[in-house]
Amino acid sequence: MKYQHVIWDWNGTLLDDRIATVKALDLMLRHRNLGSVTPEEYRERITYPVIQLYYDAGFDLINESYEDMCEEYARNYQEYASTISLHENAASALAWFKGKGVRQHIVSASEYGILVDQISKYRITEYFDTISGQKDKRGDSKEHLAMSLMAEIDADPVKVLFIGDTLHDYEIARNIGAHCFLVSNGHCSEDRLLKTGAPVFPHLGAILQALRLEE
């Protein structure tokens, strides 16, 4: 195994929360008479920091608090908790990397407390050496978390693999010098991901297949 560390994104990569995410945003749009959003439209719009998505969708960020919007989104998201699950092959991928002696980390734009609770719910905490999340629910860039992690583990970037599902994940991997694999069954459309030039896989199982062929 040529990688010593794997940095995982959480939402959309290991966690399949696309329905909850789209439904939560759709409720907010409808409440403000800003139309609606389909899963396909969301995957074409998603960007980080998330506040840009709100600007683009027409939210009034002058007369309404963005922090209040984030709290509203979190409540809506929780209403659809029953639709959330780990992606197929997520647990097996984590177990496979652990079996290879690879240290695994999560770097997420989610608020840390919510992140830890979700990971614990699916009983996969044991797989991670470190878990990094945000201090709030704003959905800001998580690049500083990745930078701090790289300094903490003092790893050769060539031996680090970043696995994510958005353009932001690709940008972070590039900026920390890590390899990047992207999955197209998460929050971002395949067409957008392919434009990065990074390897794009339909799901985590395909990543495992590719890595096994390299052994």
**What pLDDT, in 10s, does the model give residues 55-111?**
999 999 999 999 999 999 999 999 999 999 999 999 999 999 999 999 999 999 999
For the stretch 133-172, pLDDT in tens is 999 999 888 999 999 999 999 999 999 999 999 999 999 9
Alpha-carbon distance of 210 to 169, in angstroms, equals: 20
Alpha-carbon distance of 48 to 159, in angstroms, equals: 26
Alpha-carbon distance of 111 to 52, in angstroms, equals: 18
Please give the pLDDT value at position 214. Answer: 86
Please give the pLDDT value at position 140. Answer: 86
Residue indicated by tokens 């997520």: 90
The domains of the chain are located at 5-17+84-214, 18-83
Q: How confident is the model at residue 1 (pLDDT cuts 50, 70, 90)?
A: confident
Q: Which CATH code, of 3.40.50.1000, 3.30.1460.30, 1.10.4080.10, 3.30.470.30, is assigned to 5-17+84-214?
A: 3.40.50.1000
Q: What is the CA radius of gyration of the chain?
A: 17
pTM: 0.95
Burial bucket for residue 34 (CB in 10 Å: 0-12, 13-18, 19+): middle
Residue indicated by tokens 């878990």: 131
Percent of the chain with pLDDT over 70: 100
Angle at 51 between CA 49 and CA 53, to 5 degrees: 95
